[in-house]
Amino acid sequence: MGNFTTSLSTFDRFRRLSPEEMTAAIKSGERPPTNARERARIFLMLGRPRTCVPGLIAFALGLAYVQPPFSAQIIVGAVLCFLGGFVANIGNTYTDLAEDCRNLPGRVYLLAKLGYRQLFWLLMATYAVMVIAAASFGIAATILIVIALVLVHEYSFPPIRAKDGTVAGLIVFAQVVAFPFFVAAFCDPERTLWNALIGAEGVTAADIYQSHRFLGMLLFVEVWFIAKGFFKNIPDYYGDKAAGIRTSATIFRSWRSAAIVAAIVTTLAYASLAVLVVLGLESPTLLLALVWMIPVIWNCARLVVADDGGKGNLCLKTDMVISSGFIATVLFLAAPAWTSMITIGAGLLVIVGSDMLKVDSRRAVDVATAAPTQN
């Protein structure tokens, strides 16, 4: 390995490197001068807390169908569901050097400050803490969290690296919200909804209907976040294309084509909430959540005309606020309870706090200043 001390001394010098040189510098083990407090902040930034809010709210939404008694298990479950998105972001940062050196050089420089190997071991430690926390509630919870962590890990890491597959990547990505929703079924000590799902004896017609409502909303959440995957791949179009990464965006010949498809898929996914009402699984009141389609369509139009990583990143930031606001509205309309309000308030606090404190690694300064030249 070469000596990268000078190149890593400032961000201005670092971003003058080629993507290949950036990658070599990160993997060399050399780090810019920093301190423990800054490294802790960087770890938080790379985990991107504001993107973890939909998973937290999806868990609360799942609980609305299960209606278990409030317990410490629910609090731990909420924290674990929030951390699911956090560790997914950490894993992406560790594995996606080729793309991020082109799309987000600022994020890569943050990684340089923290340390490439150090990030891996911090990720492993976080996995361990999550498994230990789940184990305190029994074998079922432990198995569920291990399955979830394997999915999260293999989304970014080899040998599977699902994110490199256009379909598999979207499906696994959607589990960041679908799994928290599903795992809520195990928070009821009586397992009433779970028993109805598997057709156990002794369940009532009301239990079966509730299980159908649960499955219907689970399917919607899955479809909705698959569409989110289409959208979030667009801002990285040019860097991913230059790095040879195959995503739901780069399979198209142009940014505009990919963004138009993402806009159509996103709009249809939101609108599909109405299907649950038509099927009699939800109250017509839930249709009030579709007021969010107004900013959704507006933001999709912005994405189509952006054709630039920096502008696309702003659309993505707005999309996370819209996504969180929408699913929070669905939660409130489905279960207008004090627990729902606390969860929504916590999510709002995370998003506003993250933006105010700039605890994120997709800031304007982190994005490449120009679209990479395509090969």
pLDDT digits (tens, 9 = 90+) for 16-40: 999 999 999 999 989 998 999 999 9
Closest CA to 318 of 338, 296, 340, 333: 296
* Cα gap 238→209, rounded to integer Å: 47
| DSSP per position, 87-110 | HHHHHHHHH-HHHHHHH-HHHHHH
CB atoms within 10 A of CB 198: 9
Is pLDDT at 371 greater than 80 in this prediction? Answer: no
Cα–Cα dist 336/329, whole Å: 10
Give per-residue pLDDT as tens, 119-137. Answer: 999 999 999 999 999 988 8
What is the pTM for the complete model shown?
A: 0.92
Task: Decide if pLDDT at 222 tops 90.
Answer: yes
Please answer whether residues 184 and 211 qualify as being in contact, where contact means their C-beta atoms are separated by less than 8 angstroms. Answer: no
Mean pLDDT of the chain: 92
Determine whether 28 is exposed, middle or buried from the number of CB atoms within 10 Å of its CB (0-12, 13-18, 19+): middle
pLDDT at position 369 is 62
What is the distance between the terminal CA atoms of the chain, rounded to a whole angstrom?
27
Q: Contact 58/327 with Cβ under 8 angstroms?
A: yes
- Quick one: tokens of 267? 């709009």
Quote the CA–CA distance of 315 and 312 in Å, as a whole number.
5
Give CA–CA dist 74/63, Å, rounded. 9
- Among 339, 336, 302, 338, residue whose Cα is nearest residue 319: 302
User: What tokens were used for 38?
Assistant: 């800054």
**Beta strand residue intervals within the chain, DSSP E:** none
pLDDT digits (tens, 9 = 90+) for 256-279: 999 999 999 999 999 999 999 999
Q: Which amino acid is at 271?
A: A
Which pLDDT tens digit goes with each residue over 33-91? 899 999 999 999 999 999 999 999 999 999 999 988 888 889 999 999 999 999 999 99
Query: 34: phi > 0 → left, psi -120 to 50 → alpha, else beta; which?
Result: beta
Contact 166, 258 (CB under 8 A): no
> How confident is residue 5, by pLDDT bands cut at 50, 70 and 90?
confident
* DSSP-assigned states of every residue in 144-188: HHHHHHHHHHHHHSTTT-GGGSHHHHHHHHHHHHHHHHHHGGGS-
